Amino acid sequence: MEEMEILKKLEKVKAPPDFEQKVMAELSLRRRSRLRRRLGLQLSLAGAVASLLVGFVLWNFVVIGKRNPLGISPAGREWTDSAAAGPISGSGRTLPIIETLDYSLEVRNRGQAPQAVYLLEQVSDKTPKGVRF
Amino acid sequence: MDEQELMRLVKEGDEEAFARIVGAYKDRIVNYLYQFSGDYQKAVELAQETFIRVFFKAGQYRPLAPLSSWIYAIASNLARTEMKKSRRQQIVSLEEVAAHEFASSAYSQDPPSSGLLENLREALRSLHPRYRIPVVLKDLEGFSQDEIAEILKKPVGTIKARISRGRGILRKKLEKATAGSGGGIF
């Protein structure tokens, strides 16, 4: 065990005199950089959430706004688009209301129904495939 | 104010309480890390990092064990990690060596090392950290085997075995070194 006793004789060292100051300076530096990093993280998170929100709102305007909730035929949509963009009355924009009607059914049941005269007005240059005169 | 109270304040971010803990442990930790690494400058750097970690990890401290064990555990882990790192990069400039030698002798209390002490230091340095840490904690820092087991998070039996094996290796190395130089050990 003698060599273990001699281990105790190994030179002992002390911390340098400015050790505490250096530790405290390093500590305040690290605290500041941690704070900055945390702030940066929070800001980038907030930015990501905000851009997601803006993206969602834009998508709503562009994609959902273009969708036709009434299911108007392409020919009818062309007409409504031009009408919606075109005539503007004195009080504001005029919105055309289109009521769809299945003429083929009307004509097919002609025999049973009382005599009637149908006046078919063409609303588009293109002939819808579903309508038979 | 006792250590537990100081640690409670450190957890809340009190720098004054932290400074008191640094003041109380700085010499012991620097000396421990110096005995472990044999490099004064490295020991000071590691001790600084140890205390910084004490501050930031204060929330993880449980007052079941003495504060000294917890601080030594942090220092030991850092020293081990540093050891692994330095094993990978062994290239040191001559200026750096000279600076370390100067810094080391600047604050040492004892007269310059004799041949035997030099051999002892060399033998200690060549000891694997697995044995070096328990031997330094036991024979230089004066911790009990139970305390070392607590610091290194190992069973007491393992610590006993490592201390005994470490001392054995140290003895053999010293015998070899002194036989090589032609003198007796003691």
Yes or no, beta carbons of A7 and B109 under 8 Å apart? no
Amino acid at B6: L
For B143-171, how does the pLDDT look when each residue is reduced to its tens digit (9 = 90+)? 999 999 999 999 999 999 999 999 999 88
> Which ipTM did the prediction report?
0.73
Average confidence score pLDDT of chain B: 83
Please state, in angstroms and rounded to a whole number, the distance separating the CA atoms of residues A55 and B62.
47
Q: In chain A, what residues touch B186 (CB-CB under 8 Å)?
A: 2-3, 6
Mutation target among A13, A19, A24, A30 for the B interface, most CBs of B within 10 A: A13
Beta bridge partners of residue A119, listed in sequence order? none
Tens digits of per-residue pLDDT, A78-113?
A: 555 555 555 555 555 666 677 777 767 766 666 666
Tokens standing for A13? 């060292």
Tokens 């293109």 sit on residue: A126
Biggest CA pair distance of chain B:
59
pLDDT mean over B27-37: 92
- At residue A28, the pLDDT reads 92
Q: Which of the two residues, B99 and B123, has the higher pLDDT score?
A: B123
| Contact state of A15 with B44 under an 8 Å Cβ cutoff | yes
CA dist., res. B21 & res. B3, Å (int) = 8
Q: A117: Cβ–Cβ under 8 A, 6 or more apart, which residues?
A: none
Sort A97 into a burial class: Cβ within 10 Å, 0-12 / 13-18 / 19+: exposed
Give pairs for A39-43: CB < 8 Å, separation 24+.
none
Phi, psi of A88 (to 5 degrees): -120, 120
Rg (CA), chain B: 18
Interface of A with B in 23-62 (CB under 8 A): 23-24, 26-28, 30
Total Cβ atoms within 10 A of residue B100: 17
Query: How do residues A24-81 score in pLDDT, each as one tens digit?
Result: 999 999 999 999 999 999 999 999 999 999 999 988 888 776 665 555 555 555 555 5
**Which residues of chain B are within 8 Å of residue A14 when distances are taken between CB atoms?**
27, 30-31, 107, 109
pLDDT digits (tens, 9 = 90+) for B106-117: 444 444 456 777
Q: A128 pLDDT exceeds 90?
A: no
What three-state secondary structure class fits B144? coil
Contact between B169 and B131 (Cβ < 8 Å): yes
Dist. CA A41–CA A28, nearest whole Å: 20
Query: Which of the pair, B139 or A6, is modelled with greater confidence?
Result: B139
Write out pLDDT tens, residues B66-84.
899 999 999 999 998 988 8
- Does residue B138 register a pLDDT over 70? yes
Q: Give the model's pLDDT for residue B84.
A: 82
